[in-house]
Amino acid sequence: MRTCYCLSFLFWTSMLHVVHMTPSPKRTIKYSQNGRILGLSQDDGKTLHRSKRGWMWNQFFLLEEYTGSDTQYVGKLHTDQDKEDGNLKYILTGDGAGSLFIIDENTGDIHAAKKLDREEKSLYVLRAKAIDRKTGRQVEPESEFIIKIHDINDNEPKFTKDMYTASVPEMSGVGTSVIQVTAIDADDASYGNSAKVVYSILQGQPYFSVDPETGIIKTALPDMSRENREQYQVVIQAKDMGGQMGGLSGTTTVNITLTDVNDNPPRFPQSTYQFSSPESASLGTPLGRIKANDLDVGENAAIEYSISNGDGSDMFDIITDKDTQEGIITIKKQLDFETKMLYSLRVEAANTHPDPRFFHLGPFKDTALIKVSVEDVDEPPMFSRSSYLIEVDEDAKEGTIIGQVIAQDPDTTKNAIKYSVDRHTDLDRIFNIHSGNGSIFISKPLDREETPWHNITVIATEINNPKQSSQIPVFIRILDINDHAPEFAKYYETFVCENAKAGQLVQTVSAVDKDEPPRGHKFFFELVPEFAVHPNFSVVDNKDNTAGILTRRNGYSRSKMSTYLLPVLIFDNDYPIQSSTGTLTIRVCTCDSRGNMQSCNAEALLLSAGLSTGALIAILLCIIILLVLVVLFAALKRQRKKEPLIISKDDVRDNIVTYNDEGGGEEDTQAFDIGTLRNPEAREESKMRRDVIPETIFQIRRTAPLWENIDVQDFIQRKLKENDLDPTAPPYDSLATYAYEGNDSIANSLSSLESLTMDGNQDYDYLSDWGPRFKKLADMYGGDDSDGD
């Protein structure tokens, strides 16, 4: 290094001596016309003259990093006005004047007082002038010149980073670019090779290489595997002077990581897995986990598990755990030990992101065999359905069986089962169940209008193991029957004007019914038959479940009758027909000409007529008594109407008319015609019903006579079928009487009334064969002792 500095110093010294030149006669003459010329010189006794205006006379060159003991000589300022008598004074101004550069004011010699560094400042601009000491005036105009610092190789190359980090995919080919490193040399690149940098690799071979000019690091080996080695540390050197000996150098470290690619398929560590599960395990229960190993990382190691085949593919499922890359075997369908005890299925593990570049390495999936054994457990009883729906009429009798639930033990032991009702769901104990066969029956009367639905829970329990039980919901729907009579929809405030005309509408009434017939409500309105004679008002059925109350005469008098009570009969069209009587209270009021009510106060009317207080009290008492009588009559009428015309629901075609006449016994042949009972062709003329007034008189259908010797049951069934298929039959229920007793009974009579007419003794030993119910009778007639007694 010391040798380099000496060579540079000698080189620059020889260049500095080039500036000593002889002045041209023409240039001297030219400048002598102008007066004086300020010159620059690097020789102690010679004056520097310009021979050409184009020559850069005003530039000095100075070597940086001067290490001599004396100050470094730069140059000399001189003017032809200097007589060397000390009368002139040289002054230096500009960059570094007085600190870096000093001038001898008498001789004009310039020296560098300090060591200079080109990397800090490469040139200095100075100005020089000569002043007469006596007058203080400039003898020459101020002149500007430049001192340029020449470079030496005193800076080593420096990298932009002390440490680099880079990555490259594994399995990359040779020459794959990894990263570019850059080193900067502070020396002057325009002069010599001080700043010419060459790159080389000191550590990291044979895996990587570096381009000597660009600094790009590349792979040097093919198919480097991340699974074998992932991290590499490479040391790069940058050397100036073109890499020649004596150049300065710097180094940096590059940490290179091989990134993963999907070049490894998943592999199961074993070919067969064993799992077990109790048959009572619920759906979705995990049985175990399996995992296929993949040497890759990240999404390249992502695995999706699936069931490819096997007899358990419908019974089990497999779920992929994204966090652990495991396959979870779960139950898809309910297991049953009694049905199947062992299942096998084949599970497949495959990469979700395969790389087509590595398909030649083989399939990126693997399979394993899964065997699942089912363990037997004591299971609770199992019902034949998930729920039961039972419908029952609300008039069903207590003890009626309305349905049945069935459960059985699914285990091979087939334990016996008992049934019970969860009383928390049937607090009123309306229903009960037979513990042995699961038959549900009614314990209390039903009322659809009160509770249309009953939701109870039936429990089935194993007798040998009461802990094993199961429940089932039973939904009981109560079907409606016509057991409520229609009634007025509300209380009506009705009045009639004194000046009302006949046929005038007084009130429109409607009815409601608690029942819900399937075809909807249909109500009929009419006057009570007892009030139909000479009525003051009439009822007109509007055929839309409403009726209009009309006046039947012209004018009403409050003085004669201030209030009318009008009983209206309301009945429906469902089976059995229900009816009720509603009473309308119609007040007579004073109205204006447009029919607007003005006054309905009967007391004011009476007072205006001059009646006394006692008379008014008597009239009020009479009215109260009359109202009580009307209410009693209406109640009796309603009670009479509520008596069911049909006692039994099975008698669907009967209309019974009762006569309280007592017959005369068998000898009374005048009370009835015995021939009518024995003749099936004889029938009574059809009579109209007394409970309702039909709107149309239906024509009685004539049927062909039946043969005489026919069974009574067949006879009734034939007649019932004929009436059901008769299109002219009335829509309401009517009594069809068939006076036919049937053939003689083969059992004969047990009566003792005819025993006196029979010859000889009878044998009653057969009574002993009739069972314990006839034991007493057998003892009375069966023994000889009894006959003797």
Concatenate the DSSP letters of all residues of 222-288 into one string.
SS--TTT--EEEEEEEEESGGG-TT--EEEEEEEEEEEP-S-S--B-S-SEEEEEEETTPPTT-EEE
Is residue 556 located within the same domain as residue 472? no
H runs (alpha helix) in 564-612: 602-608
Is residue 247 located within the same domain as residue 327? no
Domain stop point among 375, 391, 421: 375
- Whether 280 maps to a domain, the answer reads yes
Q: What is the pLDDT of residue 761?
A: 57
Q: What is the pLDDT of residue 742?
A: 57
Is residue 132 located within the same domain as residue 200? no
Handedness of CA 40, 45, 49, 54 (dihedral sign): negative
The parent domain of residue 287 ranges over 272-375
Tokens describing residue 13: 């010294």
CA distances from 591 to 190, 558, 774 (A): 130, 12, 83
In 3D space, the residue among 667, 532, 641, 492 whose CA is nearest the CA of residue 581 turns out to be 641
- Whether 82 maps to a domain, the answer reads yes
Is residue 349 located within the same domain as residue 310? yes
Hey, how many other C-beta atoms are within 10 angstroms of the C-beta on 113? 13
Q: What is the pLDDT of residue 419?
A: 95
Is residue 497 located within the same domain as residue 577? yes
Integer Cα distance of 489 and 523 in angstroms: 12
Q: C-alpha angle with apex 432: 430 to 434, nearest 5 degrees?
A: 165
Do the strands 342-351 and 303-310 form a parallel or antiparallel pair, or are they unpaired?
A: antiparallel
- Whether 503 maps to a domain, the answer reads yes
Integer Cα distance of 329 and 313 in angstroms: 11
Map residue 509 onto helix, strand or coil. Answer: strand
In 3D space, the residue among 438, 328, 461, 462 whose CA is nearest the CA of residue 390 turns out to be 438
Q: What is the pLDDT of residue 612?
A: 63
pLDDT tens-place string over residues 595-624: 788 888 654 444 444 456 778 888 999 999
Q: What is the CATH number of the domain that holds 455?
A: 2.60.40.60
Q: What is the pLDDT of residue 44?
A: 42
Q: What is the pLDDT of residue 23?
A: 33
Q: What is the pLDDT of residue 388?
A: 95
Is residue 588 located within the same domain as residue 493? yes
Number of domains, the chain: 5
- Whether 430 maps to a domain, the answer reads yes
Do the strands 417-421 and 431-433 form a parallel or antiparallel pair, or are they unpaired?
A: unpaired
In 3D space, the residue among 503, 383, 512 whose CA is nearest the CA of residue 438 turns out to be 383
Cα 678 to its chain centre, rounded Å, is 77
Domain stop point among 259, 289, 309: 259
Concatenate the DSSP letters of all residues of 746-781 into one string.
TT----STTGGGS-S----GGGGGG-GGGHHHHHHH
Kindly tell me the number of DSSP H helices and DSSP E strands found in the chain: 8, 42
- Whether 328 maps to a domain, the answer reads yes
Q: What is the pLDDT of residue 31?
A: 28
Is residue 446 located within the same domain as residue 491? no
Is residue 252 located within the same domain as residue 297? no
pLDDT tens-place string over residues 254-272: 999 999 998 889 999 999 9
User: Is the peptide bond prior to 466 cis by the omega test (within 30 degrees of 0)?
Assistant: no
Is residue 415 located within the same domain as residue 474? yes
Is residue 503 located within the same domain as residue 462? no
Asked if 441 and 432 touch (Cβ cutoff 8 Å), the reply is yes
Amino acid in position 312: G
Asked if 258 and 168 touch (Cβ cutoff 8 Å), the reply is yes
In 3D space, the residue among 602, 609, 606 whose CA is nearest the CA of residue 587 turns out to be 602
Residues of the chain short of pLDDT 70, as ranges, are 1-59, 65, 67-68, 151, 190, 532-534, 601-612, 641-712, 729-763, 782-789
Q: What is the pLDDT of residue 741?
A: 59
Q: Around 463, how many Cα atoms within 13 Å sit in the side-chain half-sphere?
A: 10
In 3D space, the residue among 335, 328, 333 whose CA is nearest the CA of residue 277 turns out to be 335
Q: What is the pLDDT of residue 50?
A: 44
Integer Cα distance of 343 and 331 in angstroms: 12
Asked if 158 and 237 touch (Cβ cutoff 8 Å), the reply is no
Eight-class DSSP state of 703: -
3-state secondary structure 178-206: EEECCEECCCCCCCCCCCCCEEEEEECCC
Domain stop point among 479, 501, 522: 479
Q: What is the pLDDT of residue 641?
A: 61
Tokens describing residue 396: 């069903």
Is residue 363 located within the same domain as residue 466? no
Q: What is the pLDDT of residue 176?
A: 93
- Whether 691 maps to a domain, the answer reads no
Biggest alpha carbon–alpha carbon distance for the chain: 206
In 3D space, the residue among 303, 411, 384 whose CA is nearest the CA of residue 348 turns out to be 303
What's this model's pTM, rounded to 2 decimal places?
Answer: 0.41
- Which residues, including other chains, have CB under 8 Å from residue 245's CB and lie 6 or more apart? none
Hey, how many other C-beta atoms are within 10 angstroms of the C-beta on 240? 27
- Whether 741 maps to a domain, the answer reads no
- Whether 122 maps to a domain, the answer reads yes
Q: What is the pLDDT of residue 616?
A: 84
In 3D space, the residue among 735, 624, 623 whose CA is nearest the CA of residue 684 turns out to be 735
- Beta strands per DSSP E along 311-400: 316-321, 326-331, 342-351, 365-375, 382-383, 388-393
Do the strands 326-331 and 158-159 form a parallel or antiparallel pair, or are they unpaired?
A: unpaired
Asked if 525 and 509 touch (Cβ cutoff 8 Å), the reply is yes
Percent helix, percent strand, percent coil in the chain, to nearest 5: 15, 35, 50
Tokens describing residue 475: 């939904």
Q: Tell me which H or E stretch contains 92.
A: strand 88-94
**Whole-angstrom Cα Rg for the chain:** 66
